[in-house]
Chains A and B, each alone.
Chain A
């Protein structure tokens, strides 16, 4: 158990819909990362927050947004969903030493 909790584990939704993925980091970790893993794109960095502030941005679509709340949990919002958004979405948290601890992921299926 990494200590990072992601909910829900599975999500099935229709195209055009909006969903919210939730992540609770390990106790004491201030950094939260979001990644997307698909078969053809590998593990893609989306966005990173540190203590509530956005610190780094990767290949995150404009239809996607995220935030980190004062209690350090984070949410990833995906809107106007397309079939191609179907993937595993991972959250990870990290202490100052740099290594990331990953949650179990949310498997999103857009139908």
Chain B
């Protein structure tokens, strides 16, 4: 069965510093991987995805993520954090081989960026 783990409930970073939000996944086939962001009282917003191709994926708002097949990871990164990046971040995975259309989300990681 497909699963996704976000090992950190919370990440704290100072504005201007690089940030990393971790995600690992488990699927039996090839994964589709996604990152979403949720601001308070809002729905989730799509940030970026990996389906195939270059392991480094660039997305919205200066975020990027690196797909690492051997470590089954898809960590979200940003070179320089902004206070406005403070939000709840979700990693998600779809197992194309067996899961078909089901997309499973991680528990979420709350990012705090301090000025």
Contact = CB atoms under 8 A, between A and B. Distances in A.
Given A42-B107, A42-B108, A43-B108, A102 B102 contact: no
A56 to B, nearest CB: 4
Contacts, number: 60
Given A98-B94, A100-B34, A45 B105 contact: yes
Interface of B: prevailing SS: strand
Interface string A22-58: 0000000001010100000011010010100001101
A1 to B, nearest CB: 10
Nearest to A50: B101
Contact of B100 (A2, A4, A35, A55): A55
Contact of A98 (B42, B49, B107): B49
**Which range contains the number of B residues in contact with the other chain?**
20 to 34
Given A31-B101, A45-B105, A100 B51 contact: no
Main SS at interface, chain A: strand
Given A45-B103, A50-B101, A98-B51, A90 B34 contact: no
Contact of B43 (A31, A58, A90): A90
Give the interface size class of chain A. Answer: 20 to 34
Interface in B58-115: 90, 92, 94, 99-108
Contact of B101 (A2, A4, A55, A90): A55
